[in-house]
Amino acid sequence: MSLVNSHTGFQPLEEVWLGDVYPDSYYDNLDPELRDVVLKISDITRQDLAKIQQTIESFGVKVCRPVFNSVDDFVDASGNLIKPPITPRDWALALGDHLYVLPQYESQHEPFREHIQRYGKQATVLNRFAEDTKDQEDWCYMSFPSIVRVGKDIFIDYYDKERTYRVANNLVSNGYRVHLSTTRDHSDAVFAVLKPEQILATHYRQHYNVGFPDWNVIHLKDTTSFNEYNGKWWVDGVDLQHFNNMMTSKFNSWLGNPAETVFEVNCLVIDESNVLVIAQDDEVCRQLEEIGITPHVVDFKARGFWDGGLHCLTLDIRRTGKCEDYWPHRGPPAIDYDTEYV
């Protein structure tokens, strides 16, 4: 059995990574007031992650978590903590029978290293911190959340043209059709392929007829929500706004832009009949059920701090099934250069 096997985001899931936050002791050097706030956010996060893990495991899926040994493994050259490995989708990609990992920590410590070692030659830890950029693999310049795998068709939103073209040519030589786009979006924050011919999409894009001709699209309403006093981060149900300046000063590099994120589309598909979603939307749930998909609602209250939904929090390592061709009429492997695929 191949330990890494992932050709889509919807074939039956067997093994997945789930991110985590640091142990409380990693924040011992913070000012007491700030430490108390961070520990509260961490505690809320842990509780929800435990429930998410339990829900995933209820489907018989193996869940892998990070391992923490020393705080020194997770600091930069100035001794500042780097963002915890809570959103592995941002820096890792399983494509076919191979896993690519973009290191986040200059210590070369990989929080999922025990699992990476288990995958053997099916996993590559990229040489991101090479002194000479020429020694860095082209994959180091790819935005993994902007790569959508649909069997033999790969959709890539990119920012580095030269490196991306080389990656695309390599994918073509391995039998893929590659569709390139420069919308500058994290694709998994914009739409999700639920199963063949079915897409869940946000209000940001309205037309999918180019990349996904004749596929049904369920559009979410604009559910973007954030505290009017703080569009940078928040935690649902907890009033921490008076710590805003302190948090953004110390942890600015951890924060994204959740004010523009629709977390409900950032979902985890277990199989073609089951999907994990963050929030309850009665109309969308009704539409999902009409196409044979059961939505399972889980909470992630700190999503506005970590700027991550269920897709970001996870990384599908192994799914059953082979690399299918969902558009055989498109012909042989080739690159669709610089076209908006939606």
Closest Cα to residue 26, out of 15, 16, 34, 35? 35
Mean pLDDT for the stretch of residues 154-162 = 91
| Amino acid 223: pLDDT | 62
Domains defined for the chain, CATH in brackets = 13-322 (3.75.10.10)
pLDDT digits (tens, 9 = 90+) for 296-311: 999 999 998 998 999 9
| Amino acid 257: pLDDT | 75
* Listed range (138-142, 234-238, 273-277, 312-316) with the worst mean pLDDT: 234-238
Mean pLDDT for the stretch of residues 85-101 = 97
**Average model confidence (pLDDT) across the chain:** 90
| Amino acid 340: pLDDT | 63
| Amino acid 78: pLDDT | 84
Closest Cα to residue 86, out of 140, 184, 19, 153? 19
